[in-house]
Amino acid sequence: MLGVNLRPAVARVWAPVVRTLLRLGVTADAITVLGTVGAVASAVFVIGNGVLFWGAAAVTVFVLLDMLDGALARARGGGSVFGAVLDSTGDRAADAAIFAALAWWFSGQGDNRMVVWLALTCLVLGVLTSYVKARAEGMGLTCDVGLVERTERLILVLVGTGFTGLGIPYALQVCLWLLLIGSTITVGQRFAAVYGQAKGRTLR
Binding site for Mg(2+), by residue number, is: 66, 69, 87, 91
- Torsion sign across C-alpha atoms 56, 66, 101, 132: positive
Q: 55: how many CB neighbours lie within 10 A of its CB?
A: 26
**40 phi and psi angles, rounded to 5 deg:** -65, -45
For the chain, domain boundaries: 6-198
Element counts in the chain: helices (H) and strands (E): 7, 0
Predicted local distance difference test score (pLDDT) of residue 5: 56
Count Cα atoms within 13 angstroms, Cβ side, for 46.
20
Describe the crossing of helices 150-165 and 2-24 by its angle, rounded to 10 degrees.
90
Predicted local distance difference test score (pLDDT) of residue 12: 74
55 touches 161 (CB < 8 A): yes
Binding site, by residue number, is: 29-32, 66, 69-70, 74, 80, 87, 91
Predicted local distance difference test score (pLDDT) of residue 20: 86
6-198 CATH: 1.20.120.1760
pLDDT in tens, 149-194: 999 999 999 999 999 999 999 999 999 999 999 999 999 999 999 9
Predicted local distance difference test score (pLDDT) of residue 4: 54
- How far is residue 14's CA from residue 9's CA, in Å, rounded to a whole number? 9
**If the chain, 204 residues long, is cut into consecutive pieces of 10 residues, what is the mean pLDDT of each piece?**
59 78 86 95 98 98 84 78 90 97 97 97 96 92 92 96 96 98 97 90 74
**Residues tagged active-site:** 91
Is 0.75 topped by the overall pTM?
yes
